[in-house]
Amino acid sequence: MKQVTVLLGCVLGLYGSFLSWSVLQERINTKPYGNNPSTGHPDFYKSPLIINTVQALFASIVGFVYSVISSKSSPFTIFTRNEKKHSSVYLRSLFILSLTSSISSPVAYQSLKHVDYLAFLLAKSCKLIPVILVHSVLYQTKFPFYKYVVAGAVTLGVVVFTFANSLRPEKVSMNDGNTALGLFQLVASMVLDGLTNSSQDQLFKWANTAKPKVKLTGARLMCILNAFIFINSLAFTALFRFDSEIAYTYNFAKHYPQVIMHVVQFGLLGALGQVFVFIILERFDSLILITATVTRKMISMMLSVVLFGHVLSPTQWTGVSLVFMGIGYEAWMSSSEKSKKAAQTEKEKKSQ
């Protein structure tokens, strides 16, 4: 009964935090906060680096607290309590991970100037595409045929949805209609996500082989990686984008103070959502997380349609269906593969 209560709390927490996070993401990045008194044009908030910096700060703080509670130690012990050679690998790897991640989010937010938020949400919903791209190019990895089918279905769905939407732009939107550029930026962001995810996998595999005294856990990764992202983003913004990001945000917030609360809430909700993801992964089957994540993304899309007045054409619904059918099929096949492997392992143990 206790496990059921914990699971229910985690799933509700994941839904509540990430659904609210998704609504705020669209509100901050795609909706005007008012009209510019000088030009009369709608005023959109255009500081992706500030958003990324704030989000990384909150994720690092929440990750630190979660790590201390779950492991009873500071996440930075992977540097202080390990041998120098192991600490060096962790430091170098996490710094590289922070660079790819620091670039990915702002590039993705830039795409919202050219594509609809729902297209953005669809494209970012499937992690399989960047994984296949990166592993095929860098590691010459071969995947089961069904994964290529899923990647093709999701890609086709996103393209169908995006170009159908470009034919019927919204009346008040920051979307300039340059769909090709928006898709290019989305693909670039997804490739960077793939690099980040595959590099994380390689780091965990190295830890299992090298067996350092203090291993990298999900909570430690969340804290340290986001701390590095925060430092990278803040340094770059302060040195090279002070006027267009920091000064701009200060002046924008003087006219529209609610943007500060929105960005802070966005960062905090994203950090809390990550904690629920780690708890589900650590305590329950990964299929539960996949199911909760896929349904959450579907609900996020429905919320976007309802709250922000999107009207989808039959062609766009076809694109949406292709994406979620592909994601659902991939989740089902992955679950079947894991069940077969577990059954085979159990059979081998009994035969010994």
Q: Look-up: residue for tokens 């510019």?
A: 36
Q: What percent of the chain has a predicted confidence (pLDDT) above 90?
A: 38
Helices (H), the chain: 2-30, 48-71, 77-80, 84-111, 117-125, 128-138, 145-166, 179-210, 218-240, 248-255, 258-283, 286-307, 314-351
Please determine, for residue 78, whether its predicted confidence score (pLDDT) is greater than 90. yes
pLDDT-based confidence at residue 96 (cuts at 50, 70, 90): very high
Reference 202, options 259, 134, 284, 287; nearest CA is: 134
Q: Give me the phi and psi of 34, to 5 degrees please.
A: 165, -165
Q: Are 274 and 61 a contacting pair, CB within 8 Å?
A: no
**b vs e for 211-242, b when ≥16 Cβ sit within 10 Å of the residue's Cβ?**
ebebbbbbbbbbbbbbbbbbbbbbebbeeebe
Percent of the chain with pLDDT over 70: 90
The whole-number pLDDT of residue 329 equals 82
Q: Is the pTM of this model over 0.75?
A: yes
| CA 240 – CA 242 distance, rounded (Å) | 6
Does residue 269 register a pLDDT over 90? yes
Q: What mean pLDDT, rounded, does the chain reach?
A: 85
Lowest mean pLDDT across 184-198, 245-259, 277-291: 277-291
Give 233 or 321, the one with higher predicted confidence. Answer: 233
Comparing 23 with 290, the larger pLDDT belongs to 23
pLDDT band, very low/low/confident/very high, at 89 (cuts 50, 70, 90):
very high
Strands 42-43 and 34-35 come out as: antiparallel
Pick the most confident of 31-45, 52-66, 98-112, 194-208: 52-66
What pLDDT does 174 receive? 61
